[in-house]
Structure 1
Amino acid sequence: MPQVDEYVSVSEAKNKLLDLIRRMKHKQEVVAITRDGVPSAVLLSMDQFEGLMETIEILSDQKSMRALRRSLKLAEKGQWVSHDAVFGRENP
């Protein structure tokens, strides 16, 4: 997940909302919105949000995490499985 690119106050965010949304879409920026100088919310693109939610879903799935840990241990030992072995050969 990217770092926060900018901090803006709630009142500034209200005034610049359309510009902030455009930046989220085109530059994939992350903006923290502050209230009384304290970060209270985060504005990010829909793509970034969906990616974050998918990551949380994967991390919450115990079966997927066990498989990932097992795969990482095999990779550390230099034991790889070829793409063809997993997915089969593509026919041109």
Structure 2
Amino acid sequence: MPTIDRFVPITQAKNRLLDLAREVERDDGVVAITRNGVPAAILLSPAKFEGLLETLEILSDARTMRALHRSLGQAAAGKWVSESRVFGRE
């Protein structure tokens, strides 16, 4: 599960915003900007943001979620199909 890479006080973030933006983009990271020691904002890389949006889109699609739950139920019941069979290698 993704975590916050570091915490930066808001006054420091204000003075170093360009550097912080470069760092999160370069490192594909997440920085929490704090006010009085409490996270007030999150700065994340474009890749992480894109992934978050894609995840939200999947989770908000009822049809996709029904299919996912059905598949998880089948997997839990041991109803597997081998990779070889899926890709026609049998």
State the TM bucket, normalised to the shorter chain: 0.7 to 0.9
Q: Which residues of structure 2 form unaligned runs of 5+?
A: none
The 1-side partners of 2:69 and 2:24 are apart by 33
- What is residue 27 of structure 2 aligned with on the other side? 27
CA RMSD of aligned residues (A): 2.1
Instruction: Return the TM-score normalized by structure 1.
Output: 0.80
Higher mean C-alpha displacement, 74-83 vs 59-68: 74-83
- What is residue 72 of structure 1 aligned with on the other side? 72
Q: Which amino acid aligns with 2:61?
A: D
Percent of paired sites with the same residue = 58
Instruction: Return the TM-score normalized by structure 2.
Output: 0.82
Q: Which amino acid aligns with 2:75?
A: A
Q: SS of the residue aligned with 1:80?
A: coil
Matched pairs, number: 89
Q: Which amino acid aligns with 1:56?
A: L
User: What are the superposed Cα offsets for residues 23-51 of structure 1, whole Å, 9 maximum, x if unpaired?
Assistant: 11121221001123221110000110010
